[in-house]
Amino acid sequence: MRLASIILLCHLLGTTAAQTLHLTSVQHELRWLFEGAFPPLVNNQTVRDSVLQTAARTLAAKYGAANYTIPDKIDYRLIAMFGKPKFKTPEEKGSEGDYQAAVLSFITRATTGLDVLWSMKVEVKQKGKTVFSKEVTHQLLSYEATSPWFDEESFVSNFSKLLEEALELTPPLAYKMVLGNGIDYAELLKQNSEPWDVSKKSNPLGFGMPSFGPYATVLAEKMDSAVVRTETKLGKETSIGTRDNFTSGSGNSLLVFNQYKIVDRSKTKFGELLLSNGTDTTRSVFAVGILQREARKTVLGHLFGDQNESSSSTLSYNRHIAGSISTDTLDWEFNISGYDQSGAFRRGYLALGQEEYLLEYKQGTGFKREAILKTGSGEYVANLEFTFSDANLRIRKKLDPMTEQAIAAFYAVLLSVKNVQ
Per cent of the chain over pLDDT 70 is: 85
Q: Does 279 share its domain with 160?
A: no
Q: What's the pLDDT at 340?
A: 85
218 within domain boundaries: yes
**Where is mean pLDDT largest: 140-154, 161-175, 353-367?**
161-175
pLDDT at 8 over 60: no
32 and 80 in contact (C-beta within 8 Å)?
no
- Across 84-103, average pLDDT: 95
Report which of residues 273 and 363 the model is more confident about: 273
**Does residue 343 share a domain with residue 208?**
yes
| Domain residue limits at 137 | 18-181
Averaged pLDDT, 282-296: 88
Q: Same structural domain for residues 95 and 152?
A: yes
* Confidence band of 143 (pLDDT split at 50, 70, 90): low
For residue range 33-83, what is the model confidence (pLDDT) as tens digits?
Answer: 989 889 999 999 999 999 999 999 999 999 999 999 999 999 999 998 888
Band (187; pLDDT cuts 50, 70, 90): confident
Nearest to 48 by CA among 56, 58, 36: 56
Looking at every residue in the chain, the average pLDDT score rounds to 85
pLDDT band, residue 273 (cuts 50/70/90): very high
Per-residue confidence (pLDDT) for residue 42, from 0 to 100? 96
**pLDDT given at position 146:** 56
Same domain for 153 and 64: yes
Judge whether 80 lies within some domain: yes
47 lies in the same domain as 147: yes
Reduced 3-state DSSP string for the chain: CHHHHHHHHHHHHHHHHCCEEEEEEEEEEEECCCCCCCCCHHHCHHHHHHHHHHHHHHHHHHHCCCEEECCCCCEEEEECCCCCCCCCCCCCCCCCCCEEEEEEEEEEECCCCCCEEEEEEEEEEECCEEEEEEEEEEEEECCCCCCCCCCHHHHHHHHHHHHHHHCCCCCCCCCEEECCCCCCHHHHHHHCCCCEECECCCCCCCCCCCEECCEEEEEEEECCCCCEEEEEEEEEEEEEEEEECCCCCCCCEEEEEEEEEEEEEEEEEEEEEEEECCCCEEEEEEEEEEEEEEEEECHHHHHHCCCCCCCEEEEEEEEEEEEEEEECCEEEEEEEECCCCCCCCCEEEEEECCEEEEEEEEECCCCCEEEEEECCCCCEEEEEEECCCCEEEEECCCCCHHHHHHHHHHHHHHHHHHHCC
Same-domain pairing of 200 and 65: no
- In tens, the pLDDT along 244-266 reads 655 545 556 666 777 778 877 88
Q: Is the pLDDT of residue 281 over 90?
A: yes
Residue 198 has pLDDT above 50, yes or no: yes
**Is residue 165 domain-shared with residue 201, that is, in the same domain?**
no
Instruction: Look at residue 277 and tell me whether its pLDDT is greater than 60.
Output: yes
Q: Same structural domain for residues 329 and 361? A: yes
Model confidence at 232, in pLDDT bands (50, 70, 90)?
A: confident
The yes-or-no verdict on residue 12 having pLDDT over 50 is no
Question: Do 322 and 382 touch, CB atoms closer than 8 A?
Answer: no
What pLDDT sits at residue 104? 98
pLDDT band at 18 (very low <50, low <70, confident <90, very high): low
**pLDDT for residue 330:** 86
Residue 102 has pLDDT above 80, yes or no: yes
Say yes or no: 162 and 215 in one domain.
Answer: no
Task: Tell me the pLDDT tens digit for each residue of 73-85.
Answer: 999 999 988 889 9
Closest CA to 349 of 318, 312, 381: 381
pLDDT of 411 higher than 80? yes
Tell me: do 55 and 195 sit in the same domain.
no
Assess whether pLDDT exceeds 90 at residue 298.
no
Model confidence at 16, in pLDDT bands (50, 70, 90)? Answer: very low
Does residue 3 lie within any of the structural domains? Answer: no
Q: What is the mean pLDDT of residues 265-272?
A: 89
Number of domains in the chain: 2
pLDDT value for 242: 65
Same-domain pairing of 55 and 157: yes
* The pLDDT value given to residue 83: 87
pLDDT at 141 over 90: no
Strands 116-126 and 355-363: unpaired
Do 138 and 197 fall within a single domain? no
Last residue within a domain, chosen from 124, 156, 181: 181
Residue 10 lies in a domain: no
In the predicted structure, residue 28 carries a pLDDT above the cut 60? yes
